[in-house]
């Protein structure tokens, strides 16, 4: 119960209006149900010709009797008057008509109570999805290196759906059933406090048994949702690596791995479903046992003359008690479903409450970049091993510098630290003497354009991919950027030109075409600082030439950091920094560095030998 109340506290405030309306109509439903069921007493009295005592009318404002006694007396007086003047048959018809009217009103208010719960349910689920999406966008890249994409997708889809289907669909448990149970219980106390006291001793036993089973269901559900996340991750990996799987003939291996996980998920789901199906028969059995015990105890009181209620009132009492059993059974069944939803919410909260250490400062400083970038004694590690070790590097505005070295030397990490994709542990990175941690993240990244080895494109048109991230870009600006990037020609050769959809991740384009679209996007942004992360390493010779031409146009009059794998592409850099094991071991221009015969020379010679 604490879990669902905690969830609702977090997400219900925007829907207070609907909560209040649902609450009001559910109270009306319970009150009208009590009055409609109360017609059972006079109907039985008329049918079996009992309680024909004479009654005299008591003023409603009389202080000699309690209100309930006045109400019962005056109702009995009115019914006896009706029988005497119009006969028993007419009285039965009048009571039946009253029952229909009260039931109509009750069902109407019950519908309105559920009607106002629906916007709460759909709204909360919408808010959860929005919060997950916004959190994913705000979290640093480091979070996603530790989490599998398939598992994250599982939380966004499967776990949110589970919260909707269980927690939110069980809103009756909080906004309807407790109200019904409270009003019915009050009525039972008014009818017979002895019987009700006995019931209050018996009922908690049923709740205890159902609660024990529900807690075990939550543990099973959490494990099952984790297994579902693993299956989603496997499917995502299969879709991403389908070409490799087929090339290595590994279909059977991947299939077997998925089948094993899917069978395990099926076994977990069977255990959960069987335990859920146990809820209804168990609650029905316990409810029947409770009613039988109450019937025995109440009947004994009446037969021995120790009760304040007669037989007709006892039948009404049993009807009210049965009415309280139904909400109690629904409450127990909902408790099962809620346990699954709470397990899913725990997995969702791993994203929602994840710590985001890359945040804006309390008092941000404006930076425009007019002079230099300075890495001062920078140390950085992803987990335990230092990846960058005491690097010092100064980049003057308008210069092109290149970072070279073997894979794992820290080149790309150096570039990722500047836009604060990751935060350094020691040292500082300055722009015009201002620490980048003192600048708003959005303002910092607005200074930079990024073109990396894998062109990240979206399932949209050429136009929208180029204009991505630039608000209010005009068509002429987009076309001009495409021309500079050597992309205008192949774009216009497509069926709809700039409005042609390029497919998932630009799948309809070649590698060189994707890269030129990525460059056009950077050109349109017109950044002051350009980061090129091995932008041509995955291209063939012809594509590389076209992309290199586009890059040279982009780099003109711009501060550029080039991470290079092919050393031939950075010979004209103003300064080359050679990295090894997270440190800068050499620096200078290409000719002087090569002449030194050091580490840079060995890198060049090795690459030349491989290309021959």
Give the pLDDT confidence score for residue 365 in this predicted structure: 92
Backbone angles phi, psi at 438, to 5 degrees: -95, 5
Short-list 280, 420, 288, CA closest to 358: 420
* DSSP 3-state of 357: coil
CATH 3.40.50.300 maps onto the chain at: 454-526
% the chain with pLDDT above 90:
14
pLDDT of 49 > 70? The answer is no
Contacts of 597 (CB under 8 A, 6+ apart): none
Q: Which architecture characterizes domain 2-352 according to CATH?
A: Up-down Bundle (1.20)
> Bigger pLDDT: 71 or 271?
271
The predicted-structure confidence for 435-487, as pLDDT tens digits, reads as follows: 999 999 889 988 988 887 777 888 889 999 898 878 888 889 999 888 888 88
* DSSP 3-state of 518: helix
Pick the most confident of 58-62, 84-88, 530-534: 530-534
Strand ranges (E), 463-549:
529-533
Pairing of strands 386-396, 372-381: antiparallel
Give the pLDDT confidence score for residue 543 in this predicted structure: 66
The predicted-structure confidence for 89-120, as pLDDT tens digits, reads as follows: 887 888 788 888 888 998 999 899 888 888 88
Short-list 570, 568, 571, CA closest to 608: 568
Q: Which residue pairs from 303-306 have beta carbons closer than 8 angstroms and sit at least 24 positions apart in sequence?
A: 306/194
- Residue 48 CB coordination number (10 Å): 10
Instruction: Say how far apart CA 165 and CA 157 lie, in whole Å.
Output: 12
Instruction: Say how far apart CA 38 and CA 240 lie, in whole Å.
Output: 66
Least confident piece of the model among 33-42, 382-391, 424-433, 469-478: 33-42
Short-list 396, 404, 334, CA closest to 589: 404
The predicted-structure confidence for 485-498, as pLDDT tens digits, reads as follows: 888 888 999 888 99
Residue 525 CA to its chain's centroid (Å): 32
Instruction: Say how far apart CA 91 and CA 206 lie, in whole Å.
Output: 41
What is the rounded average pLDDT of the residues 357-372?
Answer: 89
Torsion of CA 224, 227, 228, 231, to 10 degrees: -160
Spatial contact of 417 and 429, defined as CB atoms under 8 Å apart: yes
Whether the pTM exceeds 0.85: the reply is no
Q: Residue 612: which pLDDT band, with cuts at 50, 70 and 90? A: very low
Half-sphere exposure of 332 (CA within 13 A, CB side): 29
> Bigger pLDDT: 239 or 188?
188
What is the rounded average pLDDT of the residues 596-600?
Answer: 87
* CATH code of domain 454-526: 3.40.50.300
CATH 1.20.1560.10 maps onto the chain at: 2-352
What is the rounded average pLDDT of the residues 52-76?
Answer: 66
> Bigger pLDDT: 395 or 303?
395
Backbone angles phi, psi at 34, to 5 degrees: -60, -45
What is the rounded average pLDDT of the residues 309-315?
Answer: 71
């Amino acid at each position: 119960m604490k879990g669902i109340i905690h969830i609702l506290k977090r997400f219900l405030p925007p829907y207070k209006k609907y909560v209040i309306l649902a609450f009001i109509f559910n109270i009306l439903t319970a009150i009208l149900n009590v009055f409609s069921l109360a017609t059972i007493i006079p109907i039985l009295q008329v049918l079996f010709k009992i309680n024909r005592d004479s009654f005299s009318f008591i003023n409603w404002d009389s202080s000699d009797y309690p209100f309930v006694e006045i109400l019962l007396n005056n109702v009995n007086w009115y019914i006896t008057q009706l029988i005497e003047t119009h006969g028993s048959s007419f009285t039965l018809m009048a009571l039946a008509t009253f029952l229909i009217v009260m039931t109509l009103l009750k069902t109407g208010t019950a519908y309105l109570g559920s009607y106002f719960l629906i916007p709460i349910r759909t709204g909360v689920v919408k808010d959860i999805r929005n919060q997950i999406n916004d959190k994913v966008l705000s979290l640093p890249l480091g979070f996603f290196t530790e989490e599998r994409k398939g598992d994250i997708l599982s939380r966004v889809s499967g776990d949110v759906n589970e919260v909707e289907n269980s927690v939110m669909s069980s809103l009756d448990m909080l906004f309807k059933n407790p109200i019904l149970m409270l009003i019915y219980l009050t009525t039972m106390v008014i009818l017979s406090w002895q019987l009700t006291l006995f019931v209050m001793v018996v009922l908690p036993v049923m709740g205890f048994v159902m609660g024990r089973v529900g807690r075990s269901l939550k543990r099973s559900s959490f494990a099952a949702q984790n297994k579902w996340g693993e299956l989603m991750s496997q499917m995502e990996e299969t879709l991403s690596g389908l070409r490799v799987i087929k090339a290595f003939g590994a279909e059977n291996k991947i299939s077997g791995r998925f089948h094993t996980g899917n069978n395990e998920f099926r076994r977990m789901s069977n255990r959960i479903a069987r335990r859920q199906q146990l809820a209804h028969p168990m609650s029905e059995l316990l409810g029947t046992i409770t009613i039988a015990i109450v019937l025995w105890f109440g009947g004994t009181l009446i037969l021995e003359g120790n009760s304040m209620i007669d037989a007709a009132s006892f039948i009404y009492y049993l009807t009210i008690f049965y009415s309280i059993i139904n909400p109690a059974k629904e409450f127990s069944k909902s408790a099962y479903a809620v346990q699954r939803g709470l397990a899913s919410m725990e997995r969702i909260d791993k994203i929602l409450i994840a710590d985001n250490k890359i945040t804006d400062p309390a008092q941000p400083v404006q930076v425009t970049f007019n002079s230099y970038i300075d890495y001062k004694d920078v140390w950085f590690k992803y987990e335990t091993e230092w990846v960058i070790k005491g690097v010092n590097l100064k980049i003057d505005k308008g210069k092109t510098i290149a970072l070279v070295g073997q894979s794992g030397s820290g080149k790309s990490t150096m570039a990722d630290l500047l836009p604060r994709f990751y935060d350094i542990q020691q040292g500082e990175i300055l722009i015009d003497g201002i620490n980048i941690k003192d600048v708003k993240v959005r303002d910092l990244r607005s200074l930079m354009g990024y073109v990396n080895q894998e062109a990240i494109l979206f399932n949209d048109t050429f136009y929208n991919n180029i204009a991505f991230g630039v608000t209010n870009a005009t068509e002429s600006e987009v076309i001009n950027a495409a021309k500079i990037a050597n992309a205008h020609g192949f774009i216009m050769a497509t069926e709809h030109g700039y409005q042609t959809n390029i497919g998932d991740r630009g799948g309809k384009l070649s590698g060189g075409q994707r890269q030129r679209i990525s460059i056009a996007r950077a050109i349109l942004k017109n950044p002051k600082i350009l980061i090129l992360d091995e932008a041509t390493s995955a291209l063939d010779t012809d594509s590389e030439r076209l992309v290199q031409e586009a890059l040279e146009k982009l780099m003109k009059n711009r501060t550029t950091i080039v991470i290079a794998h092919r050393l031939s592409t950075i010979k004209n850099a103003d300064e080359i920094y050679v990295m090894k094991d997270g440190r800068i071991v050499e620096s200078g221009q290409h000719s002087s560095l090569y002449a030194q015969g050091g580490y840079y020379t060995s890198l060049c010679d090795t690459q030349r030998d491989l290309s021959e």
